[in-house]
Structure 1
C-alpha cells in the first residue's frame, strides 16, 4: 500500500485543541482524558496505567511481533519552590528549559483550591525603576519570579490564596497557525507528535487498512523528566517507533520540512534495521527525509531501553526551530510523519525472528561489512590526469 492521504485539517484542529490543554509533567489528567476520548472515537479500546499512560491496540493479523507507535503528552512547565515575602513565587523548571524563555510568559498556577493566572518576570523588570539594570540581570531560574494576578503582596497573602510549595505552573502556548503552513507555539514538543499519530490512525481507519501485526498506540506522561515509555510496553511488542521533535539549528541537519530521522541521540545509535526500513519506505513512497544526530537529546525510546525492554527502536521527528523555547514547525513535516507511519504499520514484517522474544541464530540479521564498490571516472583513475 502506498502512503495514505492525511487529513491535515483534522491534524491542525487536533493540535490546536491539544495545545489549549495545560499538561506539564505531573499535571496530565485532563489531556489523558481528551486523548482517550479521541482514541475511542477512532474505534480503539483504551487502557490506562495507574498514573495515566495510554495504550490502545489496533488489531492486526497476529499479536506477536507487535509494533508500537509512541508519543508523549506531557510538556515543560514549572513548580513553586517557595513563597516569597513580596507576595511572589520562586520557581523551578519542570523538564530542562531555560529561564530565558520563561521571562514574560503568561501562566496558570494550579492549587488545591483553584487556579490563578500570572506572569513570570525578571527580578528587575521595570525599566522606569532599574534603568539599564534590567539588561544586566543574569539569566537563570534564581533571577525570575512569578507574579500572581490576585491580591498577593506578602507570603501571608499567598497562604490565604491557598498557594503552596510544589504547586504546578503551566506555561501558555501562545500559538499561531499561519496560512503558509508554519506553526509557532510553545509545547509543540510533543503535542505535535500526538496530533501526528492520531491523524495517521484516522487515515488507516478511513482506508480500512490491515496490518500484519497488532499496532500499539502509546501515549506517555513523563517523557520530559526522563521516565517516558519505561513501564508501558507489553512483552509482545518487538519494535517501537517514537514520534517527537527534531532540532533545526546551526550544525544540525534537521529540517522543518519532511521527516527527520534521528540516527543517534545521547544514549547511542537507534536500531540499524528498523531505521533502514523506514528510510526505504520514504524512498519508495516519495516522502522527503533527512538524517540527523542529536547530542543533547533523549526520548521515550531511551527510557524504554533503560527499563529493560528488548525492542528495536527508531526516532522520527518533525524539525523544530528553537526547541524547548518558542518553537516553530511546518505542517509539511507533520503530514510527512503521518504518511510514513501509515506506510510503516501496513508494511510486511521483514525480520520474522522478531515474532519471538528469543530464538536461535537462524534468521538473525546481518549488517553489511563488504567494502563499497568505488565509482570513479576514467579521468580520475588515470595517474597522468592532473
Structure 2
C-alpha cells in the first residue's frame, strides 16, 4: 500500500479557516494570500499568476511528464446589479446557483469605502404584509434583493454609503462541524478540496515522500465562472487530477463516504487511462470508491482542455449533498481523497510517451483493449496499409 496517513485535525482546522475567508470569484486576493502562506509553511515555494492562481511545484525525480493536482479557491457569490429606489440592491449571481438558496442568506457587501452587512430577501418577505403571496412569488434573481444593515431608504442613501454597481457580495458559509464527521456549510465547493490538498501535501512533506516526477499543486481563482485552469499549466505537465465535489442526489452514484471518481461530465469522458489508474489505486490501497457521471457539471479540467492544454485529465471528488445549495459532506470522503492523492503522486509513470513534450509516433503510446473485437484484427494491423495503393 502506498497511501499515507492524513492528519484529520489539520485538515479540519484548515477547512475552518478557509471557510471564514470570503472569496467569491473576482474577490479572491485574501484567500490566495492565505493559501500561499500555508504552502510556504509546508516548505513549498508557491508562485502566482497575474490574476492570483497559485502554482507550487514539489520536485520529483524528473521534470518532464509532471503531474498536476488542482482545486479552486473561488466560491459562489453575487454582485450589486443596480441601486433600487426602495434603498435595496438588485443582485446578479457570481457562478451558477439558484436564488432559492440565496433567500435568507446573511452577506457582506464590499465597497471602496468599506463593507456592510446585509440579508438577501425575496421581494415579498413579510407574511404579515403579503399573506399567501410569499409562497406563490417566482423563484429567480429578479425576485430577490439585498437589504443593507444601514440607513438606506432610497438609492441616494445607498450612494452616500458608497455602494455602487458591481460591488462584490459574499455569502456567509455558516459552517457546522459535527462530532459524527458530517460538515455542513456553504462553499464546501471547493474550500474542502483546497483543505484536503493541503493535508495531502502535509503528509508528503512529513514522510519526505519521493515522487517519480514533479508534482504541480495548483489552486485556481475562476472555476465557478468556467475559466479555472485555463492559464496555469506549463508544458511539462502531462496529466492533471482535478479535485472537486461530487453530487449526491437521486439518479447519481456519488456518496458522502469514500472517493467518487467521475467517468464523464458535460464536456465528455475523462481520460481513459488516468481514470483507470485512479480506480486501480483505490483498489490497491483499500480506499473506498464509487464511479459517477455528471451531466450538468464541469471542473478545472474542462477549462484546461478548452484552453488547448494537451494533458490527460481525471476528476476525483468528495460527495456533496445539495451542491451549490446548503452543502453537506463527511470527513471520511475528504480523508479518502487526500489518501488517494498521496498514493497517486508516488506511483510510477507507466505511459512513457507522457515524458515527451512534442508530437511523437505510436512507440510508447497507449493501447485500449477492444476485447473480442480485437481478435478479428490482424496481428500486424498497426503496420497494415489501408489507404489507396499506387
TM-score (norm 2): 0.95
Match of 1:361 in 2: 362
Tell me the residue number matched to 1:79.
79
1:192-221 deviation per Cα after TM superposition (whole angstroms, max 9, x unaligned): 000010000000011110000000000000
What is the alpha-carbon distance in structure 1 between the residues aligned to residue 267 and residue 234 of structure 2? 22
Match of 1:371 in 2: 372
Alignment of 1:1-386 (within 5 A): 2-357=2-357, 358-371=359-372
Cα distance, 1:371 vs structure 2: 2.8
Local SS of the residue matching 1:213: coil
Once the two structures are superposed, what CA deviation does each residue of 1:295-346 show, in whole Å capped at 9, x if it has no partner? 0000000000000000000000001000000000000000000000000000
Quick one: distance in 2 between partners of 1:2 and 1:240? 19
Give, in whole Å, the separation in 1 of the partners of 2:133 and 2:355: 64
1:356 Cα deviation after fit: 0.3
How many angstroms does 1:352 deviate by?
A: 1.2
- CA deviations 1:89-137 (Å, max 9, x no partner) are 0000000000000000000000001000000001010111111111111
The answer to whether the 8 A contact 2:60-2:211 is kept is yes
TM-score (norm 1): 0.96
1:25-55 CA distances to partner (integer Å, 9 max, x unpaired)? 0000000000000000000101100010000
- 8 Å contact 2:261–2:291 — kept in the other structure? yes
TM-aligned CA deviation for residue 222 of structure 1: 0.3
Is contact 2:352-2:365 (8 Å) kept? no
Structure 2 gap ranges (5+): 374-390
Distance 1:352 1:338 in 2: 26
5+ residue gaps, structure 1: 373-386
Q: 1:328-374 deviations in whole A, cap 9, x for unaligned?
A: 000000000000000000000000110002221111110010139xx
CA RMSD, Structure 1 to Structure 2 (Å): 0.7
Separation (CA, whole Å) in 1 of partners of 2:199 and 2:55: 16
Post-superposition, which runs of at least 4 consecutive aligned residues in structure 1 deviate over 2 A? Answer: none
Give the match's secondary structure for 2:372.
Answer: coil
